[in-house]
Amino acid sequence: MAGSIDRVSQAARDAGLAIEIRRMGESTRTAQDAANQCGCAVGQIVKSLIFEGETSGRLVLFLVAGDRQLDLGKAAALAGEKLKRADPRRIRDETGFAIGGVSPIGHKVAIPAYADRTLLAHDLVWAAAGAHDAVFSAQPGALIAAAGATAQDLAS
């Protein structure tokens, strides 16, 4: 688990994103858990959702605010194909993170990413840092850039 968190710090350093990873000691597995632990609004939590192209099998990452739902139609239009949830085991193998701790950055393989633009409404957002109790905060624009994502209308 330490290795996963280290990968997040290294990816942030590589991207020039200054972050401080916090181990909360309590679960931050869900957006609501994370908001409770961070003392922030659930909309400030970044969900890192990994989907798989039904045709190509390629993984795609969507960064969505904790108070919004990914609109699968909009997501599929961006990906250029129908999408399904990726298998948890594949997520672990290819991102290096288990569900509930999937970070927007630091994946073992490069994954194309899109971010919901409502995240940009906040001064600060919080995202998973590679473990079930680890989070970091960042300015949303800088985080989206570090993830190599483009801001889009993704949610409903």
Residue numbers at the binding site for ligand 5CA (CB under 6 A): 28-31, 34, 45-49, 85, 88, 99-102, 127-128
Q: Which residue is nearest to ligand 5CA (CB)?
A: 47
Taking the complex as a whole, the smallest distance from the CB of residue 101 to ligand 5CA amounts, in Å, to 6
Please give the Cα distance from 23 to 140 (Å, whole number). 20
* Strand 134-138 with 83-85, pairing: unpaired
Minimum CB separation of residue 72 from ligand 5CA in Å reads 11
| 110 exposure class (CB count in 10 Å sphere: 0-12, 13-18, 19+) | exposed
**Closer residue to ligand 5CA in complex, CB, 6/26:** 26
Would you say the C-alpha torsion 134, 100, 102, 17 has a positive or negative sign?
Answer: negative
Provide the terminal-to-terminal Cα distance of the chain, rounded to the nearest Å. Answer: 33
Minimum CB separation of residue 22 from ligand 5CA in Å reads 12
Of the two residues 34 and 83, which places its CB atom closer to ligand 5CA in the complex?
A: 34
Q: Please, what is the minimum distance in Å from the beta carbon of residue 103 to ligand 5CA?
A: 8
Max Cα distance, the chain (Å): 41
Tally of CB atoms within 10 A around 151: 17
| Min dist. Cβ of residue 15 to ligand 5CA (A) | 18
CA distance 107 to 95: 4
